[in-house]
Structures are given as structure tokens and as C-alpha cells.
Amino acid sequence: MSALNWLSGQAFSVLGQHIIWSDMIGNVLGLAALALGWRRSVWSWPAQLLSGLILVVAYATAHLSGGIGKQLVVITVALWGWARWRRGLRAEGDVAVRFASWRERGLLAAGLALGTLLVGGLFTAYPALSWNPWPDAYIFVGTLAAMVAQARGWVEFWFAWLAVDLVGVPLAFSSGLVFSALVYVVYFILVIAGMRAWWLRTRVLRTRTGSVLEGAAA
């Protein structure tokens, strides 16, 4: 219980906003998960999993049942993504990345739109689940869409995170959540760097594939 009490305690304050240890550590682990995803490290998923578990404590401390439910869904998707990357490593020795096909992009966009409508409607019907239903639904579903794209090795993973940040940063600042807003700003920087790294990786893979095909033809 002492560890849980410590996680529920106040770490510091930012412009009048009290930050508890679980909130800070959970968000820092989320940043680490994104940075590891940039490096295509399978440890990205355990970091995301641990982030979700610690954020459950943060939401429980704040008596936000909706936040707990969202993190449990994130944890489930993280377990699936971890298993998928581990299978890829065993089969190919590396995490393969590529651009999604137009069909896959359409399905991802449709899932984001439909998911936002369904979750936003749920949050609106049950106000206790969210203090700002529609933006919160968009950010939540967008996060899940990004994780699914990451698990499949799509470069669009980074575009999904960018779409989340474009709403998350101004929403957090306007709501007075300075720490959360600063976390989203760091997310934005990592997203740009990760997007470039994965994009360049697809060019390397295309070059290698082309060389192999030319060698086979010769």
C-alpha cells in the first residue's frame, strides 16, 4: 500500500496545477514509449503498458472512472501490439515498417471517425466518464488508431499521433492543464522526429528490395 500511497501523492506544482507522481511517471513513460517506437524497439510496448498501469492509479486517485476505463483499453491494445512486434522479430529479425495501402488508410480513417462518434456519444450520455466529451473521445480513439497503426508497422502511425496532438495541445492549454499540455508538446517533437525516421526507413527497405530483385534478374 505504501507504493500506491506514494504514487497518489503530490510531486510538484506547475502554475498552480498540482501534479501527482503517478500522473508524472505515467506520462513520462508514455513519452519513452513513443521514443522507443521511433527506434522501432519492441520495448516501446512494455513502456506503454507500464504507463497505462500507472495512469490507472492516477485516475483512480482522482476518482475518474472514465479515465480508468480508457487506460484499460490502452493496456489491452499495448499487449496486442507487443505480441505482434515479437512475432515480427522472430520471423524477420527486425520490425518492418511501410506506408499503409489506400484501403488500409481508408479503414483507419473510418475507424477513427466512427469510433469518435460512438465514444463521443457514450461520453455525452454519461457525463461522469469525461469532462469534455467530444475532444476527449477524439483524442482517445486517435490514440488507439495510432497504436494499431504502430503495431502494424505503418508510417501513418505518426500522422495519427500528429492528428491527436493538434487537438490535445490547445485543449490542454485552454483547460489550464499546463503539465499535460507540455507533455503533448514533447509528443509533437518526438512525432516529427519519428515520422522522419520511419519515412527514411521505408526508402532504405525499398532500395534493398530493388537491389535484390535486380540481382535475381541478373
Q: Mind listing the pLDDT tens digit for each residue in 72-103?
A: 988 999 999 999 999 988 877 788 899 999 99
The more confidently predicted of residues 13 and 30 is: 30
Please tell me whether residue 98 adopts helix, strand or coil conformation.
Answer: strand
The DSSP 8-state label assigned to residue 199 in this structure reads H
CB 157 within 8 A of CB 37: yes
- Residue 59's pLDDT band, with cuts at 50, 70 and 90, is confident
Above 80 in pLDDT, residue 156?
Answer: yes
Kindly state the cell numbers that stand for 112: 477513427
The residue behind cell 471517425 is 113
- Residue 14's pLDDT band, with cuts at 50, 70 and 90, is low
> Mean pLDDT score of the chain, rounded to an integer?
83
Indicate the pairing of strand 17-20 with strand 10-14.
antiparallel
- List, as own/partner pairs, every contact residues 134-137 make where C-beta atoms lie below 8 angstroms and the sequence separation is at least 24, other chains included: 135/167, 135/171
CA-closest candidate to residue 47, choices 69, 75, 8: 75
Q: From the CB of residue 2, how many other CB atoms can be counted at a distance below 10 Å?
A: 6
How many domains are contained in the chain?
1
CA-closest candidate to residue 202, choices 123, 77, 97, 91: 97
User: pLDDT tens digits for 100-138?
Assistant: 999 999 999 999 999 999 999 999 998 878 778 898 899
CB 66 within 8 A of CB 56: no
Cβ-based neighbours of 45, under 8 Å, separated by 6 or more: 33, 78, 79, 81, 82, 85
Range of the domain at 133: 2-217
Which of these ranges, 42-51, 59-68, 139-148, 191-200, has the smallest mean pLDDT? 59-68
Max Cα distance, the chain (Å): 69
d(CA 161, CA 146): 6
According to the model, what pLDDT value does residue 55 have? 83
Kindly state the cell numbers that stand for 57: 492509479
d(CA 57, CA 60): 5
Please spell the DSSP secondary structure of 9-73, one letter per residue: SEEEEETTEEEEHHHHHHHHHHHHHHHHHHTT-TTHHHHHHHHHHHHHHHHHHTT-HHHHHHHHH
- Residue 205's pLDDT band, with cuts at 50, 70 and 90, is low
The residue-averaged pLDDT of 174-182 equals 69
- Residue 216's pLDDT band, with cuts at 50, 70 and 90, is very low
